[in-house]
Amino acid sequence: MRPYFLVFLIALTPVFSNAQIVFATPDFSNLNTITTAVPIFSIPTDSRQLGMGLSGVVPAEQNRWGYAHSNPALIARGTQYAAANINYMPWLRSLVPDMNSYSAHFAAGFTRRQAVGLSYRYFSLGDVVWFDQFGTVASTTTPYEMSVQLNYGLQLTKHLKVGTAIKYLYSDLGGRVVVDNQELEAGRSLATDVGVAYDRSIPTTEQSNLLVSGGISATNVGSKMTYTQGRRRDFLPAELLLGGSVGIELEFTDIKVTERVFASWSKLLVPTPPIYEVDENGQFTFDENGDLIIAQGYDPNISQAQAIFQSFYDAPDGFREEISEVIHRIGNEVSIEYKEKVSLSLRQGIFLEADSKGGRKFVTIGAGISAFGFTLDGAYWRSLPNRVTTNQLSISLGYTYDLGKA
C-alpha cells in the first residue's frame, strides 16, 4: 500500500496550504459591476463542485447529476443509471440567520447514450420587514426564488457528449409591496442551457492512465425578468463557461487513486453598464427622448440575443475591462477508491473575480465519502476579510443505482 498512500498524502498537501494564501487589499476605485436578476441561480448547489472553487463545466468520473447546473451534457455518462441527490446551503450567515438554498436533482440514463434529468431549486431570503415613509412597519414578507429545470444529455461518441436544458424561473421579492407607487409583482422567466463535454482516459502504463477532459456551456439564456409594470426589465445571469481538466489515475490490486486539476473561466453574457455623461454640476444629462446620454460604452437596453454578442465588446474601458469580466475558477480533487465500492475524496479550490466587477475572492475546501452507491459531500468557503460570503457551508447527499447491473 505504500506507493499509492504516498501519492495520496502528496496530493493533499495543497489543501492545507490554503490557510497561507494572502490577497492584496481590494481596489474598488473603478467599480463597474454587472447586475442581473436572480443572481443566486448562477451559483451551483452541488457540494463537490463548490469544494473545488465552483469548477464544474467539465466531466470527471465521479461527477454527479448536480453538475447539470453548469453543463447539461454531463448527465450523459455512457451507462444506464438512476441517481438522485439533495443539497442544502445556508446563505450569508454572517449577515442574516434565515437565508437558505435548497435543491434536489434526479437523473436517469435510460440507455447508454441518452439521459434525462429534473432539477428543482428553492432559495429563501428569510423575513423582510418593509417600512413606509414615516418609518412605520408597513408589512413583513418572506421573499423566495425557485426554478424547475428539465435536462437532456446525449452521448455522441465514446468521448463526446452534448446536452440541453429548459428551465422556469420564479422570483417573488416583494409579496405585493408598493414601492415608488408601483406594486411589486413576482418575476417570471423561461431560460435554456446548452453544453458540450469531452473526456478521455489515455493508458500510460499498466497501472496508470492520463485523464483529460474539457467542456463549454451557455447557461441561463432567456427572457428578461421584471417585477413591475414599468419599462425596467432585468437580464438573467446568462453565462458562458469554458473549462478543462487533467489528471492521473493509478490502479492497484484493490485500490484506485485519482488526482485531477480543474480550471474554468466564466463570463456573463450581459451588457456592461456604460458611463453616462454629466454636466459641469455633476448631474446626468438627457437627450430629447428623456434617456441618459452615454459618454462611453454601449446602450444596455437591448434584447438578450443582442446582448450575447455585445457583451464581448461593450465595456467602457475597452478590451482591458472585457478581460476583467472573466471569472477564474481553479480546483483540485484527490480520491482513493477501494474495490469500486467505497471512496474518499478531498478537494480544494479558488474563485477569483476582479475588484472592479465585485471582487469576490475566496478559497474553498471540501470532502466526500461514497459507499455502495451513497454519497455524502461537504464544502466550506473562506473569503477575504470584509467579504460577505465568508464562512459559507454546503452539504449534499445522493444515491446512484447502476441499471446496467440490475
pLDDT at 67: 64
Domains of the chain: 2-405 (2.40.160)
Give the chain's mean pLDDT.
86
pLDDT at 216 over 50: yes
DSSP assignment of 274-324? PEEPB-TTS-B-B-TTSPBPEEES------HHHHHHHTTT--TTTHHHHHH
Q: Facing residues of 137 across strands?
A: 131
Nearest alpha-carbon partner for 273 in 24, 1, 34: 34
What are the tens digits of pLDDT across the range 336-365?
Answer: 999 888 999 999 999 999 989 988 899 999
On the 0-12 / 13-18 / 19+ scale of CB atoms within 10 A, 234 is middle
pLDDT at 389: 63
pLDDT at 328: 96
pLDDT at 177: 64
**Across 189-213, average pLDDT:** 94
Which whole-number Å values give the CA distances from 301 to 33, 75, 179, 191, in the listed order? 16, 36, 22, 19
Which percentage of the chain shows pLDDT scores above 90? 62
Q: Facing residues of 4 across strands?
A: none
pLDDT at 77 over 80: yes
pLDDT at 241 over 80: yes
pLDDT at 3: 45
- Report the alpha-carbon distance of residue 85 to residue 64 in Å, rounded: 9
CA of residue 18 relative to chain centroid, distance:
21
**Across 381-386, average pLDDT:** 75
pLDDT at 82 over 60: yes
Nearest alpha-carbon partner for 43 in 8, 74, 87: 87
pLDDT at 322: 95
What are the tens digits of pLDDT across the range 34-45?
Answer: 999 999 999 988
- Report the alpha-carbon distance of residue 272 to residue 323 in Å, rounded: 12
pLDDT at 2 over 60: no
pLDDT at 324: 95
pLDDT at 175: 63
What are the tens digits of pLDDT across the range 280-318?
Answer: 888 889 888 888 899 999 999 999 999 999 999 999 999
pLDDT at 347: 95
Q: Band the pLDDT of 403: cuts 50, 70, 90.
A: confident
pLDDT at 14: 45
The pTM assigned to this predicted structure is 0.87
Q: How far apart are the first and last CA of the chain?
A: 33
pLDDT at 27 over 70: no
- Report the alpha-carbon distance of residue 88 to residue 102 in Å, rounded: 5
Most confident of 56-70, 167-181, 346-360: 346-360
What are the tens digits of pLDDT across the range 357-379?
Answer: 988 899 999 999 999 989 999 99
- Report the alpha-carbon distance of residue 37 to residue 222 in Å, rounded: 12
